[in-house]
Amino acid sequence: MGMIVRLGYVAMSLELQNASPSQTMTYKQFSSIKDRAAALRKLERIATSNLHNCLRLLKHNALHSIEFFRFSSKLIPLANHPDTKGWRYMSALKEPLNEIKEYLQQHPTMRVDFHPDHFVLLNSTDKDIMKNSLLTLQMHRQLLEGMGIDPTHRCVLHVGGGYDDKEKALEQFIHNWGFVPTNLQEMIILENDDTVFTLSETLYLCEKLGVPCVFDYHHHLANKEEDWTEHWDRVVNSWSKSPLPVKIHISSPRSPSEFRAHAEYVDVSMFFDFLDRIKDQTARVDCMIEAKGKDLALFQLIEDIKETRNVSWISQASFEY
């Protein structure tokens, strides 16, 4: 029995036309509408359209047997802006969320999650940043519950800022964790990043707090840390109490000079350099493609695998290796 690999992609399709889940409205546009109730209704219409497009994306994925997908975190424009305080958007979005819920119930093997934006910083010493981070995470939890999804381990975050003292910044995360409500703690998984926190530093937090670790291979190569394979069993172990399989992020550098930037597509050789080193010690791995080409990058990778590698295809976007 080989390792089962499922491929997924991020937030939007380049193949599907007019299906953006991230349509928005600027604060300037919002504040120019004199009637606040009318302005909020307009935000609700945009959010409803975003959710309808999410459903279209899920159907597109099912058509291609793609069972792994990251929702956009921009589904509800201005959701936590101070000037929309008191806006009860969840009740307004009940119907489109319910449609997604019903669809996901019909496709129980589909794994969906979120990656809240970079301003969600749980190791900040700024009380306002922490407060807004918790509000944003609360919104993600409500969306997951509205879609009938178990929120456990569905939100991937970066550790946060290094603030000129990484050790102190890691301890600040642990300190702040005590102020994060348990129902938000259980959603969180942590990812190593490309400039600040390495895989071993991220694992230090994950093991201390009982949080799964998402390994980003491209970030690791950019951060020039020691050999990641020494830590792979710790990554796998961090998922041992999770209802979900190990999750990794895969992307390729745009060029040697723009190494941190994501390329349009995924380099199949780079991908298999990674898989070859984990296949004997990993039963399942879900690979989130973070390429600029979105679903087209996923389709291209599938073609490249078919041309260059001997794998056993389980479905259009999952294989055994």
Phi, psi for residue 146 in degrees, rounded to 5: -65, -30
pLDDT of residue 225: 75
Q: Is the dihedral of CA 246, 251, 253, 259 positive or negative?
A: negative
Tokens representing residue 75 in the block: 């589904």
Residue 173 pLDDT grade (very low, low, confident, very high; cuts 50, 70, 90): very high
Number of helices and strands in the chain (H, E): 12, 10
CA atoms within 13 Å, Cβ hemisphere of 47: 24
Q: Minimal CA–CA distance to 172: which of 219, 129, 135? A: 129
Identity of residue 154: R
- C-alpha Rg value of the chain to the nearest Å: 20
Q: What domains can be seen in the chain, in order of their start residue? A: 4-320 (3.20.20.150)
pLDDT of residue 224: 81
Residue 13 pLDDT grade (very low, low, confident, very high; cuts 50, 70, 90): very high
Start-to-end CA span in the chain (Å)? 9
pLDDT cut 70: percent of the chain above it = 100
> 159-180 burial, b if ≥16 CB within 10 A, otherwise e?
bbbbeeeeeebbebbeebbeeb
How would you classify the pairing of strands 188-191 and 155-158?
A: parallel
Cα 2 → chain centroid? 26
Q: Minimal CA–CA distance to 211: which of 152, 145, 143? A: 152
Q: What's the rounded mean pLDDT across residues 95-119?
A: 97
DSSP state of 14: S
Phi, psi for residue 7 in degrees, rounded to 5: -100, 140
* pTM > 0.75: yes or no: yes
Secondary structure of residue 223 in the 3-state scheme: helix
DSSP state of 72: P
284 bridge partner residues: 4
Q: Per-residue pLDDT tens for 225-284?
A: 778 999 999 999 999 999 999 999 999 999 999 999 999 999 999 999 999 999 999 999
Q: Minimal CA–CA distance to 290: which of 267, 262, 318, 269? A: 262
Indicate whether 1 pLDDT > 90: no
